[in-house]
Amino acid sequence: MTAARYAIGFVLSLILSLAAYYYVVLGGSGTWFLVILGVLAVTQMIVQLIFFLHLGDEVGPRYRLMSFAFMLIILLVVVVGSLWVMVNMNYHMMDMTPTEKTDYMLIQYDKGF
């Protein structure tokens, strides 16, 4: 049973990897391009976790699954928070000269931010 499980995981991983590779090689751009690549990556991660790391196969309480879910939540908070900060900084400061940036930061400091 274990060999069959590893074979299924290997074939699914191979298919997902080749799909992502050919999707990038054939070209594409824009938001949908990134969304489709993200979906393929997350699907690949789930296949790896289920078939190779046996996540969810343990008997009894699912402490490993709960700790993994907590890790995913923390990871999402860190990644989304970092992207939010970078986009916000880009919006507020990218089109400014260094002098304008300094003046803007001094004005914000005087406001108490």
For residues 45 and 67, state if they share a domain. Answer: no
Cβ atoms of residues 9 and 55 within 8 Å:
no
Say if residue 43 is in the same domain as residue 68. no
Same domain, 19 and 41: yes
The string of pLDDT tens digits covering residues 23-65 is 999 887 788 898 999 999 999 988 988 888 777 776 766 777 7
How many distinct structural domains can be found in the chain?
Answer: 2
Does residue 74 share a domain with residue 42?
no
**How far from the centroid of its chain's Cα atoms is residue 78's Cα?**
10
pLDDT at 54: 78
User: Could you say which of 9, 33, 54 is where a domain stops?
Assistant: 54
Could you tell me the residue range of the domain that residue 39 belongs to? 1-54
Is 74 found in the same domain as 29?
no
Cβ atoms of 44 and 20 closer than 8 Å:
yes
Spatial CB neighbours of 20, under 8 Å, sequence gap ≥ 6? 37, 40, 41, 44
Tell me the C-alpha distance between 67 and 14, whole Å: 28
